[in-house]
Amino acid sequence: MLVQHVLPEFNSPAGHLRAKFIKSQLILLFLFVIGVDIRLRAWVAGQYAHINFSDQNNFRKALHSIVSGLRDPDLPVRVDSVFALRSFVEACKDLSEIRPILPQLLDEFFKLMNEVENEDLVFTLETIVDKFGEEMAPYALGLCQNLAAAFWRCMNTAEADDEADDPGCSRMLTTDGQEVFEEVLEIVSSMTLFSPTISKEMWSLWPLMIEALAEWAIDFFPNILVPLDNYISRGTTHFLASREPDYQQSLWKMISSIIMADRNLEDSDIEPAPKLIEMVFQNCKGQVDQWVEPYMIITVEQLRRTE
């Protein structure tokens, strides 16, 4: 029934029918075949791809029909094709069915990402990357660029009234970015580690991380420790010389507020603080002697509290 009555409808002249047959009719037929309650049809959308086809040519035909749907002139068809494709990629035992068309497949994905915001696009891309592993290396740059562009389009749409010169990661280092805070910290860590020098724009993120740590992001202290280490070790001269803002002073205020906090913090919450103090003295030998006494005082006091 799948081959005789459903697959031919991929070529229907009506766009809404092509979309429906991609997203719904195939699923309904599959549910009928296996006897699943019709109320579960949304949950198993696309799962018919896992049917054990007696003739693999039928699987190929269905797969290529879905792929062709990515180039359909009607947007709903393209979006529904992305949803269905994920299940086909998961079910595909022989990647040689997809490998020859992978570049074209990714191109269609990138085009669609410019047209619509849809999480199914990301989920399907994730499945493709997982399936092909190291074979995705030639496409990694384009993939990252397009995902980044889609991310910022989403953010700009949500906060269109933000200032145009707002630094790239700054919004994501406030409470507005809590859902992606850890990922943004990883980006900042990489940029401060691998860039030839730490730019002024990147230094502008320091106060935001310090503020977040002092106010609400104590659980992310180990994550914040990494970029702060990079700032101090790779931008030592700027860290020491700057007075507006004063990075040494802001660091002291943050560390002392955490170590001497009246709130009930676990030892694991405070643990990165002495590591940060160590980083300062290791990278700034002979240039931060004025901070030895203050840091020693709060460290000894914390030890007394622990005892």
Model pLDDT, residue 56: 66
Q: Is the pLDDT of residue 286 over 90?
A: yes
Which whole number is the average pLDDT over 211-232?
Answer: 95
Q: Is the pLDDT of residue 37 over 60?
A: no
Nearest to 239 by CA among 282, 269, 184, 274: 282
Which whole number is the average pLDDT over 221-242?
Answer: 97
The pLDDT confidence band at residue 204, using thresholds 50, 70 and 90, is: very high
Both tokens assigned to 165: 């010169």
Residue pair 65/10 in contact by the 8 Å Cβ criterion: yes
Peptide bond into 245 cis (omega under 30): yes
Higher pLDDT, residue 292 or 69: 292
Residue pair 198/239 in contact by the 8 Å Cβ criterion: no
Which amino acid appears at position 31 of this protein? Answer: L
The pLDDT confidence band at residue 38, using thresholds 50, 70 and 90, is: very low
Nearest to 189 by CA among 165, 210, 205: 205
Q: Is the pLDDT of residue 199 over 50?
A: yes
Model pLDDT, residue 25: 38
**CB environment 136-154: b (16+ within 10 A), e (fewer):** beebeeebeebeeebeeee
Q: List all residues 6 or more positions away from 293 whose beta carbon is below 8 Å from its beta carbon.
A: none
Higher pLDDT, residue 5 or 217: 217
Cβ atoms within 10 Å of 306's Cβ, excluding its own: 8
Helices (H) and strands (E) in the chain, counts: 16, 0
Q: What is the dihedral of CA 22, 27, 33, 36, to 10 degrees?
A: 180
Nearest to 206 by CA among 182, 189, 222, 183: 189
Compute and round to an integer the Cα radius of gyration of the chain.
27
Measure the CA–CA gap between 240 and 106, rounded to whole angstroms: 47
Model pLDDT, residue 230: 97
Among left, alpha and beta (phi > 0; psi -120 to 50; other), residue 286 is left
Query: Residue 270 burial by CB count (10 A; 0-12/13-18/19+): exposed, middle or buried?
Result: middle
Q: Give the range with max mean pLDDT: 29-33, 34-38, 151-155, 292-296.
A: 292-296
Tens digits of residue pLDDT in 131-152: 999 999 998 888 888 887 877 7
Tens digits of residue pLDDT in 235-269: 999 999 999 999 999 999 999 999 988 667 888 88
Measure the CA–CA gap between 155 and 167, rounded to whole angstroms: 13
Measure the CA–CA gap between 194 and 190, rounded to whole angstroms: 6
Which whole number is the average pLDDT over 154-162?
Answer: 55
Q: Give the range with max mean pLDDT: 1-10, 138-147, 155-164.
A: 138-147
Q: Which of 46-60, 99-113, 169-183, 254-268 has the lowest mean pLDDT?
A: 46-60
